[in-house]
Amino acid sequence: LKPLARIPPSAPPRAQAGRRARAMDSSDSSRLPVGSSESTGFSVCHRHSAKSEGVEAPLAESKSRAETRLGALLVRGRYHKLPARLEHSYIIDPKALGTGYNGSVFAARRKYTTSSTRYAIKSFALRGASAGKYQQLANEVEIILSMDHPNV
């Protein structure tokens, strides 16, 4: 499974597959133009509400540090922005592969391709999270963005 980080913005609860999200897709970074809406299965919310502002700064710092280590092109191919939604580019298995402290992991396949590559999508629970939790999330996103291994 290829890793994908999925982070829903502060919004009313919905089915896991129906939330807006962030993405990291290491296998497709060279196939689609950076910033292309087609390249985004997961998203970064830029609707600067009071709730999302607390997440944006730590995530921007994490993205910047990952770009310094791996290069901007590689990281930007994994880090995408709204308005694209997860469902636009991926078919998600509703059954969780596993659940951990920061959220659940789901299996997914890319739509509109003949490839059988499977991806792991991690969902993060942000509702009511403290500043410390946001920083922990930013650290995890940085680690995921920094991975560059064919078996991960």
Residue type, 105: V
Residue 152 maps to a domain: no
pTM: 0.50
Assigned domain for 96 exists: yes
Residue 122 in domain: yes
Q: Check whether 111 is labelled as a binding-site residue.
A: no
pLDDT in tens, 46-77: 333 334 445 667 778 888 888 888 888 777 76
- Our count of domains for the chain comes to 1
Q: pLDDT of 96-138, one tens digit each?
A: 999 887 788 899 998 888 888 888 887 777 778 888 888 888 8
Q: In what order do the strands lie in the sheet with 118-123?
A: 2-6, 118-123, 103-110, 90-100
Does 24 score more than 60 pLDDT? no
Q: Domain for residue 134, yes or no?
A: yes
Check residue 90 and give its pLDDT: 87
Provide the domain limits for residue 117. 2-146
Q: What is the mean pLDDT of residues 141-151?
A: 76
